[in-house]
Amino acid sequence: MTVSPSKSADPGSQPMIAMRGVQKHFGSLHVLKDIDLEVPAGQVVVVLGPSGSGKSTLCRTINRLEPIDEGEIRVEGQLLPAEGKDLARLRADVGMVFQSFNLFSHKTILENVTLAPTKVRKKSKADAGKRALELLERVGIASQKDKYPAQLSGGQQQRVAIARSLAMDPKVMLFDEPTSALDPEMVNEVLDVMVALAKEGMTMLVVTHEMGFARKAADRVIFMADGAIIEDAEPDTFFTDPKTDRARDFLGKIL
């Protein structure tokens, strides 16, 4: 089966994500400094940078978990709505997977995946259930569908979290260090799902320090430091010939 990313075939169409002049402060701390970023449909962008450089905040502004102070953010040409029904729709279009899996602990795996499609997308229980099973199959968890999150390993829970996001038929998937809370032996089972998604054409913005994923799946690497994007390059170029001392330092520590 495919995950049917809503990928526009029209080459003249809008970028999937467009951030222009985005500024964000937390009190006196300037966490996003004049961010300009365009991500075309189908592109896979890996976001790198030291801790505290603003990677999570960048992701969170894109689906409006964090408001911005200045600038604009568009998803497929649409300005981000401030609140209300349009915001719910935007959130459904932009899937997000966090470091902590955030599954509903009192719901079964299947219920975790069908909940939002029935409530937000107004799908029938039958349709949502059918789709959920396909997606659980896709991430290799279908046989666990009647269990509760606590009965699954971290890697399995994160794969359910990915299926849950996909169940909303998002246009974009944001991943914020999706494997950094996992035991090492579970990292690859999650990365494999993400690589497959990337190959199917999903537009993805992925904060990760997993260089294997970056090399396998990324079309582009952006490197952040102190709230600014200071490098934006193809993975090969970035890894072999970083332009800034900050990036060279960073790569020296993680490679």
Q: Which does 8 bind (CB under 5 to 8 A by kind): ligand ADP, Mg ion, none?
A: none
Stretch that binds ligand ADP, among 25-33, 99-107, 125-133, 162-170 (CB under 6 A): 25-33
Q: Are 200 and 2 in contact (CB under 8 A)?
A: yes
Q: How far is the CB of 132 from ligand ADP (least distance, A)?
A: 30
For residues 118 and 128, the answer to whether their CB atoms sit within 8 Å is: yes
State the minimum distance, in angstroms, from the CB of residue 161 to Mg ion: 16
The entry of Mg ion, ligand ADP, none near residue 158 (CB within 5 to 8 angstroms by kind) is none
31 binds, among Mg ion, ligand ADP, none (CB under 5 to 8 A by kind): ligand ADP
Least gap, CB of 29 to Mg ion (angstroms): 14
User: Looking at beta carbons only, is 62 or 110 nearer to ligand ADP?
Assistant: 62
Tell me: does residue 26 bind ligand ADP (CB under 6 A). yes
* 22/35 Cα distance (integer angstroms): 5
Note whether 104 binds ligand ADP by CB under 6 A. Answer: no
| Beta carbon of residue 60, minimum distance to Mg ion (angstroms, whole number) | 9
Q: Binding to ligand ADP by residue 51, rule CB under 6 A?
A: yes
Query: 205, exposed or middle or buried, with CB in 10 Å at 0-12, 13-18, 19+?
Result: buried
Residue carrying the six token digits 């089966």 = 1
| Contact partner, 208, from Mg ion, ligand ADP, none, Cβ < 5-8 Å per class | none
The terminus-to-terminus CA distance of the chain in angstroms comes to: 35
DSSP label at residue 81: P
179 binds ligand ADP (CB under 6 A): no
178 near ligand ADP, judged by CB under 6 A: no
Q: Which residues contact 27 (CB under 8 A, 6 or more apart)?
A: none
Cβ-based nearer residue to Mg ion, 8 or 56: 56
Residues of the shown chain interacting with Mg ion in the complex, contacts defined by CB under 5 A:
55-56
Question: What ranges make up the beta strands (E) of the chain?
Answer: 17-26, 29-39, 44-48, 70-75, 78-79, 94-97, 172-176, 203-207, 220-225, 228-233
Q: What are phi and psi of 106, to 5 degrees?
A: -95, 10
Q: Is 53 in the site for ligand ADP (CB under 6 A)?
A: yes
